[in-house]
Structure 1
Amino acid sequence: MRCRSAAMWIFLALRTALGSVEVRWCTASEPEQQKCEDMSQAFREAGLQPALLCVQGTSADHCVQLIAAHEADAITLDGGAIYEAGKEHGLKPVVGEVYDQEVGTSYYAVAVVKRSSNVTINTLRGVKSCHTGINRTVGWNVPVGYLVDSGRLSVMGCDVLKAVSEYFGGSCVPGAGETRYSESLCRLCRGDTSGEGVCDKSPLERYYDYSGAFRCLAEGAGDVAFVKHSTVLENTDGRTLPSWGHMLMSRDFELLCRDGSRASVTEWQHCHLARVPAHAVVVRADTDAGLIFRLLNEGQRLFSHEGSSFQMFSSEAYGQKNLLFKDSTLELVPIATQTYEAWLGPEYLHAMKGLLCDPNRLPPYLRWCVLSTPEIQKCGDMAVAFSRQRLKPEIQCVSAESPQHCMEQIQAGHIDAVTLNGEDIHTAGKTYGLIPAAGELYAADDRSNSYFVVAVVKRDSAYAFTVDELRGKRSCHPGFGSPAGWDVPVGALIHWGYIRPRNCDVLTAVGQFFNASCVPVNNPKKYPSSLCALCVGDEQGRNKCTGNSQERYYGDSGAFRCLVEGAGDVAFVKHTTIFDNTNGHNPEPWAAHLRSQDYELLCPNGARAEAHQFAACNLAQIPSHAVMVRPDTNIFTVYGLLDKAQVSQPRGHRGARALRAAWGKLCDCHFGMSLQQPSPHPLHHSFFLFNCIILTNI
């Protein structure tokens, strides 16, 4: 009896560890179950171990639940399902699919337009859109998530379908026919040749799947198609095609790039919405990944070539596509870093975050911090106006004694949001860990409520250099932690790859990048000496490098003086600094004789510009105000509320403010400001980003 009991325990232990007993594969449909059973038989006849069993679920989501409950062991999932399986159930990806040698274990989601059109990624509002299907990775999740994450599409109350239906000027989203917004989301769909199956998420709808969405664009029904990188090339230039595509040429189509430009359809590696991870086999965290791969690897060695008795990577015999594995799979490979974050990658994760919003978890109220009687009155009026427009969540107004008090209350979870100015924004991020949910964008001719961060140099043809040649130069900064003098320029140089901090040790990295600097700080004793090397202190030479006016090179004017007096080669300051200290505006002896035309700006694209061209040649435009929230707050919900509110308000007066989404994350080190890409056409909207700058307590 004891022997039998011991044997049973050994059996259960082996079964739990998948130790050469069985692997239970979960299937999501009858055809998939049939293919799984055929694969199981083929493996068994070939003597492959462990045994493969098939467990039928009702859907991929159901299979994930079965695996988490130890009632199944493995399933192949797409990116969206991998995200949910990893985040909610702790499953890990262990084996990835490879589709072609050029892209490996991934493919790319792209936005395609006709070459003759004028559409860009920044002008998608109101155009007609073609999608592969509702909740499909390339045709829905990535483009919609990207538009939300980048602030181009705002979503109120987690109602993504409504937001998309109002954003585009009509769409074909197969599978959206049962939603409340089918009139808009199915407007471009046609069904089959007899008009049946309109908007079905199946081949009955002619505009379904990759080729169908491209056909929607090619036939003129839509203006943009969201497909994968290979779709255009697979359906043009005389390849074996249905009649609708016989005359199509790939040169007549282009891709929309994230920076607002367009590119050839062959340039998808550099011009795409996101790199999409390949489908992957997922298992529980305690499952032996090596054992799973060895079984599948032996299987593909025997059953992936022409003429084999069973075809692992073909579903044709079952009248379906992509059963168990995608039919386009060339091989299966082991995954080295077995976490869903590593497998999905940052581009895809950002897109997914734009879609993650559970309406059941939304708070009924957004508690807004106010600081004065006029603010209380205005907040109350705003709450009433939002309520009348049925905007969600509703606003509650909570008073506080100071901006710092607001920050403390938000950090503690007693309040949700506050509008802060530039300096307080910096404090909120650096000291209290708050993040920006929305910034203010002003009319193009109204710069009274924002400023530009610029890199100023002397006009000297004998010693001219560009932003690409800053290494080894001497730099002047208003002070450590200053948005214009430190956060933006240092963040820009990091973002562009000129400065590469190790372990986020930005101080050392900056000190090594510049030959010498003056970066005044409160406690220079704990500071790299090179960052104080150019500082001069007061008239008696005391208080050198201190973060106050006793250091003559402190502040924007001080940093400019550092440049003027020849201590430094470049000064990072606000755009107004040159004009405040030249042409007779500053009577101090060091500035009285200065002329603005003797100074130039370094542009992100490698050019130089006149001082008055700061709007086109700057490192960032900083709006005066931003809405700050806790990191656990759904920033898309906050922005969605405010964006819908501003749309419903009267517009058109001079200087009207517009709220703009303001997020992103480049490094977890600390809070900083947004950067413009080094581009011939800098972005003209203002927004904030997190950047890898510094959290060091000096």
Structure 2
Amino acid sequence: MKQDFWTFGPTNSAYKPSSAATGISHPTSTMAALVVILGISLLTVQTAGQNIRWCTVSVQEMAKCKAMSEAFSDASIRPNLHCVSDTSVAGCAERLRKKEADAFSASASNLYDMGRQDTLKIAAGESGPDHEGLTYYAVAVVKKSSTVTVNSLRGRRSCHTGKGRTAGWNMPIGHLIDSGRMSVMGCDISKGVSEFFNASCVPGAVEAGDPASLCSLCVGDGAGGHRCEASAQERYYAYSGAFRCLVEGAGEVAFVKHTTVPENTDGQGEEWANGLRSGDYELLCRDGTRARVTEFQRCHLVRVPSRGIAVGNDVDPDQVYNMLMEGQRKSGFAMFQSVDFDGTNLLFSDRSTTLIKASGAHHIDWMGHTYYHALRAMDCSSAEIPEFLRWCVLSSAEQNKCVDMAKALLSKGLTPKVQCVFGDSVDHCMQKIKNNEAHAITLDGGYIYTAGRSYGLVPAAAESYTGDTDGSVYYAVAVLKKSNTNIRRLSDLRGKSSCHTGLGRTAGWNVPVGLLIQRGLIAPHSCQIEEGAAGFFKSSCVPGASLPALCDRCIGDNSGQNKCEKGKDLFDGYTGAFRCLAQNAGDVAFVKHTTVFQNTDGNNTEQWAVHLQSKQFQLLCSHDTRAEVTQFRNCHLARVPSHAIMVRPQLNHHAIYGLLDKAQDSYGSDLSAEFRMFDSSKYGGSDLLFKDSTLRLIGVGERRTYQEWLGQEYLETLVAMECPSSTAGLSITSLVAVVFLSSLVSLLAV
């Protein structure tokens, strides 16, 4: 077989490299060597495609595979189909990895497990006569008379088909965790479910460690036996049982599949379902709305994909798909029947009638991201959960608060335990996290961009300033004194004095300066952003800036030292920038929408702020008008994401959020006597570990990357602040091509 790899041309003669051909001193020898390399690659693929080795997992499957192989051969189907055997799907996956097999069929959950090694592609999915795939939909059913939505499930009573089952457990719980609605500490999913729902019936939740509330709604066989058993002896077991649990009022929501309601209403189903009407029930949609039970295709929690045809990474998926489809058409072999081989669902599902070509070879694209991430949220082995969560701190005050937080969380038995790691700067902390010397830090949008782009970090949780998911964003605003009537539009800021939260910070620098660059009002020469801003404003206070003009309006600390120093100047941060405006050091302050309210109307009792009123200030809008400070939703410079806790992607971010969510249940209130997560006054600072204005920490949901968290609008603002790069537009493919061609030219020039 190896000699076949070296066969070229119509004469079928073997190429045998001479000693001269092995060197690179002669151009013709070099070209010959390159031709050999390319020829080997092409012929290896060609030879590998001459036979497709199908992996079977039982004696019955092997018998069916051999019969299919003979039928395909008789019909002259190519490539040739050969059969290899193993004892399990996992074994077949290993054979694919070792290139001892080429293809086999598996369930979506098995394909998820195999996909961790990333050694497979998807050729096709099985389908019924509707050509939409043998999929089904995991749905949440409620009574039409109820007010429940997917966003108000916390504290409700729930009905499940059984622990570990797809539609009734893995999909709904996985989705609730992945969407950030449910938190789970330490990957103890049963405990997380018991803390989320008020009471449940989860047949089979009788293992050691399963909370009693998971079985509290179950009724058994009605005679006191088999309660919460994962069998038909439990009245509320499986699809119909979970729906019956809802119908009889035990639960307020039932997690079933999309066919369950029509199978048990409108004259269908067993005696207990007599008189039930499908119109009396509705589905909960992921976006918080509800829909009729017939609208499951658009309103469901998760679409569960059909079985798929997995092939090895070195196998052409189209070749396998074409072989199977041609074999089905021409050979007459009943691919989707197993009765003649004394089994069911052998090689393929007996319910299938055809195959649908995969639109994408990657297993995640094929199965769908919602399904994949629901399974991943339930998979405790998919990411690292550290014994100690090392939090990176930037000052002695933050270190003191971190130590107190670690002690407070330890006293409640919360895991992972917190340790405090000191960093010299934000960038130093990001590098520590990348190197696994630290695990977490809270960052604003500008630093989130750097953390993701330069250090590969991802968001694990985020701050909410309203207490709900809408509070995970805030508005960057430009604040003016109402008495200053000379500024009506952004262009009027030229030649005025400005107050900023700090160099590189979101609301105080990146958004306003980026917007001014986008509008053409600032045109930095050679991408010198600071010089451009200094040329636009007459004078400024930008803590952390390097130019005197951008530090001119800063005043330092109470002793007059540390002028223009981040974290030390009295005009640093949101409150500092607003103070700069209030004390007439600047004409405009770039802050966030809550800053004015936090420092006026008696909310700040410091001497400089105690007499300030919010009605004394106005906002400058991006569309060149002014508005009252209460109108920030319509008058702002940008809608930007809140601060987020950033971690390495290898870390289980669900576990990190689970820890923080449980922590804030005890310490999230500013009235807590032991420790206050969102209050830094005790430590002589502000916004330590978390912003003091945070009301609650929330999960990041589907915004799993720094780009998704920041959003396109804000990303464009940041890009406007960046220097152009001559290679920025090159894709990886382009770069590889450039490198290959350069190498080729070098070789041929020898």
**Counterpart-to-counterpart distance in 2, 1:348 and 1:356:** 12
Q: Is the 8 A contact 1:441 1:659 kept in 2?
A: yes
Question: What secondary structure does 2:368 align onto?
Answer: helix
Q: Is the 8 A contact 2:52 2:103 kept in 1?
A: no
Q: Could you tell me how far 1:90 is from its partner in structure 2?
A: 0.9
Residue 171 of structure 1 aligns to which amino acid in structure 2?
S
Q: 1:249 to 1:424 in 2, by over 3 A?
A: same
Aligned to 1:118: 147
Q: Could you tell me how far 1:280 is from its partner in structure 2?
A: 0.8
Q: Is the 8 A contact 1:113 1:119 kept in 2?
A: yes
Aligned to 1:437: 460
Range 327-336 or range 118-127, more displaced: 327-336
Per-residue CA distance 1:257-278 (angstroms, 9 max, x = gap): 2332322223334433234433
Correspondent of 1:638 among 642, 646, 656: 656
Q: Could you tell me how far 1:94 is from its partner in structure 2?
A: 0.7
1:253 to 2:281 alignment: yes
Correspondent of 2:369 among 343, 346, 360: 346
Q: Is the 8 A contact 1:133 1:175 kept in 2?
A: yes
**Counterpart-to-counterpart distance in 2, 1:32 and 1:198:** 38
1:60 to 2:126 alignment: no
Per-residue CA distance 1:211-248 (angstroms, 9 max, x = gap): 444344334343222334x3256425536533343433
Per-residue CA distance 1:31-71 (angstroms, 9 max, x = gap): 76787677678768878676767666554334423443455
Aligned to 1:287: 315
TM-score (norm 1): 0.67
1:227 to 2:249 alignment: no
Aligned to 2:420: 397
Question: What secondary structure does 1:354 align onto?
Answer: helix
Q: 1:204 to 1:576 in 2, by over 3 A?
A: closer
1:163 to 2:181 alignment: no
Residue 387 of structure 1 aligns to which amino acid in structure 2?
L
Q: Could you tell me how far 1:281 is from its partner in structure 2?
A: 1.0
**Counterpart-to-counterpart distance in 1, 2:108 and 2:472:** 40
Q: 1:621 to 1:246 in 2, by over 3 A?
A: farther
Correspondent of 2:408 among 359, 369, 385: 385
Range 182-191 or range 44-53, more displaced: 44-53
Correspondent of 2:646 among 620, 628, 632: 628
Q: Could you tell me how far 1:132 is from its partner in structure 2?
A: 3.9
Aligned to 2:56: 26
Question: What secondary structure does 1:378 align onto?
Answer: helix
Residue 698 of structure 2 aligns to which amino acid in structure 1?
A
Q: Is the 8 A contact 1:199 1:205 kept in 2?
A: yes
**Counterpart-to-counterpart distance in 2, 1:255 and 1:337:** 30
Question: Counterparts in 2 of 1:134-213, with a 5 A limit?
Answer: 134-178=163-207, 180-181=209-210, 183-189=212-218, 207-213=236-242
1:411 to 2:434 alignment: yes
Q: Could you tell me how far 1:525 is from its partner in structure 2?
A: 4.7
Residue 350 of structure 1 aligns to which amino acid in structure 2?
H
Q: Is the 8 A contact 1:451 1:621 kept in 2?
A: yes
Q: Could you tell me how far 1:117 is from its partner in structure 2?
A: 1.9
Question: What secondary structure does 2:187 align onto?
Answer: coil
Question: What secondary structure does 2:378 align onto?
Answer: coil
Aligned to 1:663: 700
Question: What secondary structure does 1:154 align onto?
Answer: coil
Per-residue CA distance 1:268-304 (angstroms, 9 max, x = gap): 344332344332111211234344323432454479x
**Counterpart-to-counterpart distance in 2, 1:369 and 1:361:** 18
Aligned to 2:269: 241
Q: Is the 8 A contact 1:26 1:56 kept in 2?
A: yes
**Counterpart-to-counterpart distance in 2, 1:415 and 1:33:** 51
Unmatched segments (≥5 aa) in structure 1:
7-12, 458-472, 491-506, 540-545, 559-570, 584-593, 677-689
Q: 1:285 to 1:22 in 2, by over 3 A?
A: closer
Correspondent of 2:475 among 445, 449, 453: 453
**Counterpart-to-counterpart distance in 1, 2:81 and 2:162:** 32
Q: Is the 8 A contact 2:55 2:92 kept in 1?
A: no
Per-residue CA distance 1:475-530 (angstroms, 9 max, x = gap): 9999997634898899xxxxxxxxxxxxxxxx9xx999x9x564x57x355599xx
Aligned to 1:334: 357
Question: What secondary structure does 1:117 align onto?
Answer: coil
Aligned to 2:567: none
Q: Is the 8 A contact 1:673 1:691 kept in 2?
A: yes
Q: Is the 8 A contact 2:266 2:278 kept in 1?
A: no
Per-residue CA distance 1:92-130 (angstroms, 9 max, x = gap): 111112347485575543322121222221222232333
Correspondent of 1:612 among 623, 630, 636: 630
Q: Is the 8 A contact 1:602 1:609 kept in 2?
A: no
Residue 409 of structure 1 aligns to which amino acid in structure 2?
K
Q: 1:182 to 1:574 in 2, by over 3 A?
A: closer
Q: Could you tell me how far 1:600 is from its partner in structure 2?
A: 10
**Counterpart-to-counterpart distance in 1, 2:305 and 2:511:** 32
Residue 166 of structure 1 aligns to which amino acid in structure 2?
E
Q: Is the 8 A contact 2:618 2:628 kept in 1?
A: no
Q: Is the 8 A contact 2:668 2:677 kept in 1?
A: no
Q: Is the 8 A contact 2:163 2:204 kept in 1?
A: yes
Correspondent of 2:293 among 262, 265, 280: 265
Q: Is the 8 A contact 2:149 2:289 kept in 1?
A: yes
Residue 297 of structure 1 aligns to which amino acid in structure 2?
M
Q: Is the 8 A contact 1:142 1:348 kept in 2?
A: yes
Residue 83 of structure 1 aligns to which amino acid in structure 2?
Y
Q: Could you tell me how far 1:378 is from its partner in structure 2?
A: 3.3
**Counterpart-to-counterpart distance in 1, 2:449 and 2:141:** 39
Question: What secondary structure does 1:64 align onto?
Answer: helix
How many residues are matched? 607
Question: What secondary structure does 2:296 align onto?
Answer: coil
**Counterpart-to-counterpart distance in 2, 1:602 and 1:115:** 44
Question: What secondary structure does 1:148 align onto?
Answer: helix
Question: What secondary structure does 1:157 align onto?
Answer: helix
Q: Is the 8 A contact 1:36 1:54 kept in 2?
A: yes
**Counterpart-to-counterpart distance in 1, 2:125 and 2:549:** 54
Q: 1:324 to 1:430 in 2, by over 3 A?
A: closer
1:214 to 2:243 alignment: yes
Residue 87 of structure 1 aligns to which amino acid in structure 2?
R
Correspondent of 1:697 among 722, 728, 733: 722
Q: 1:527 to 1:398 in 2, by over 3 A?
A: closer
Per-residue CA distance 1:144-189 (angstroms, 9 max, x = gap): 2222222222222222233223322343445544453174444545
Question: Counterparts in 2 of 1:547-586, with a 5 A limit?
Answer: 574-575=592-593
Q: Is the 8 A contact 1:96 1:333 kept in 2?
A: yes
Residue 438 of structure 1 aligns to which amino acid in structure 2?
A
1:91 to 2:91 alignment: no
Question: Counterparts in 2 of 1:76-87, with a 5 A limit?
Answer: 76-87=105-116
Range 119-128 or range 662-671, more displaced: 662-671
Q: Is the 8 A contact 2:123 2:308 kept in 1?
A: yes
Question: What secondary structure does 2:116 align onto?
Answer: helix
Residue 139 of structure 2 aligns to which amino acid in structure 1?
V
Unmatched segments (≥5 aa) in structure 2:
7-42, 480-489, 540-547, 554-572, 578-588, 602-613, 679-694, 724-750
Percent identity, aligned pairs only, is 41
Q: For the pair shown, which has the larger CA radius of gyration, 1 or 2?
A: 2
Aligned to 2:741: none
